[in-house]
Structures are given as C-alpha cells and as structure tokens.
Amino acid sequence: MRTYTFHLSSDAIAGESHGLENAILVPDGFSLRAFVFGPLWFFFHRLWLAGLGVLALLVAAGFAGRFLGLGTVSGFLVTVLLLLLVGMEASSLRRWTYARRGRPARDAVVAESVEDAEIKAVNRWLATPAVIRPGPSAYSTATVRPSETAIGMFPFAEPRRS
C-alpha cells in the first residue's frame, strides 16, 4: 500500500466537482525515476526551480570533488548518494512546488495503485458536504463600546469617574 496526496487549487470547494479535472495525485516515498534521471525528472514534471536546484547541487558536488581531489570511485559514490537523496525527497519537492503554485494538499489517500487512489480521493472529496462561505457582514465596521471597562486582570470593573 502506498500513500498519495491529493492536490487541488485553493479555490476548490469540498463537495463540488468543479476543478477535479485538474486534480493531481502525488505518490509518497522513494522515486526510482527521480533517482535515475535526476534533474530531467523534475523538468519533465515542470518543476523548474527544483530541477535547477538539483542540477546546481550536482554540478557543485562535481566541482567540489575536483577541487578536493577525489578519485573517480569517490566522485561516483558522492553522485550516487546525492541522487539517492534526490530520489527520497522528489515527492516532497513536488508537493512543495504545487503548494507554492496555489495547489495545496487537500487529502491523503492510502491505496494499492494510482487508479484506486484517484477513485478514493474523488469519492471522499465529493462526499464531503459543501462548506458555505460567509459573505461580508453588513455590520463589520461597527464597534461596540463596553458598558463597563476593567483595567488589567481585576475581577470587577471600577465605576466611572466624572
């Protein structure tokens, strides 16, 4: 069983089907494709900043390895370890990017496959009753003056002095 996060635009209302065609499921856990392809995986998913960050990290590690005089095997090991880190954090970077673009995680679903996760997420989203958003109040700017004022944490208010 795998966990998936369900991302919708921030203006989507639970219980309504508007916006479900643009919903995104992000699997949680290690991403083998991000480990193998590195920055190309991020560019494929249109995660430009994360892809550029990973590319810059790999290039900086390469230059640091040359500067420190690491051998070929050591450089390869450092690159594999960095790509292992990228594979473990790829889903988190993807969720962060979607949240930054106005598509926060709205639900988490545990399922056997992507299709099962999609069915569960959509059914849970549509089963939730629609929330009525309150409109602006007609009396929102009116202030109420207290009849008795207390200073500090005294239990009783002192009478007003004329």
HEC assignment per residue over the chain: CEEEEEECCCCCCCCCCCCHHHCEEEECCCCHHHHHHCHHHHHHCCCHHHHHHHHHHHHHHHHHHHHHCCCHHHHHHHHHHHHHHHHHHHHHHHHHHHHHCCCCEEEEEEECCHHHHHHHHHHHHHHCCCCCCCCCCCCCCCCCCCCCCCCCCCCCCCCCCC
Residue 24 falls within a domain, yes or no?
yes
Return the structure tokens found at 43: 């560019």
**Domain for residue 154, yes or no?**
no
Q: Are the beta carbons of 134 and 140 closer than 8 angstroms?
A: no
**Structural domain includes residue 114:** yes
Higher pLDDT, 148 or 111: 111
pLDDT of residue 35: 95
pLDDT at residue 100 tops 70: yes
Residue 152 lies in a domain: no
Q: Which residues contact 78 (CB under 8 A, 6 or more apart)?
A: 61, 65, 70
Indicate the number of domains in the chain.
1
101 versus 128: the higher-pLDDT residue is 101
| pLDDT category of residue 159 using cuts at 50, 70 and 90 | low
In a domain, 150, yes or no: no
pLDDT computed for residue 37 by the predictor? 94
* Domain span including residue 118: 2-127
Whether 111 is in a domain gets the answer yes
- Is 69 inside any structural domain? yes
pLDDT number for residue 79: 92
Residue 134 lies in a domain: no
**pLDDT of 146 above 90:** no
Residue 151 predicted with pLDDT over 70: no
Q: Looking at residue 21, what is its pLDDT?
A: 82
**CA pair distance 95, 8, nearest whole angstrom:** 11
Per-residue pLDDT tens over the stretch 12-64? 888 888 878 888 899 999 999 999 999 999 999 998 988 999 999 999 999 99
Average pLDDT on 102-107 reads 89
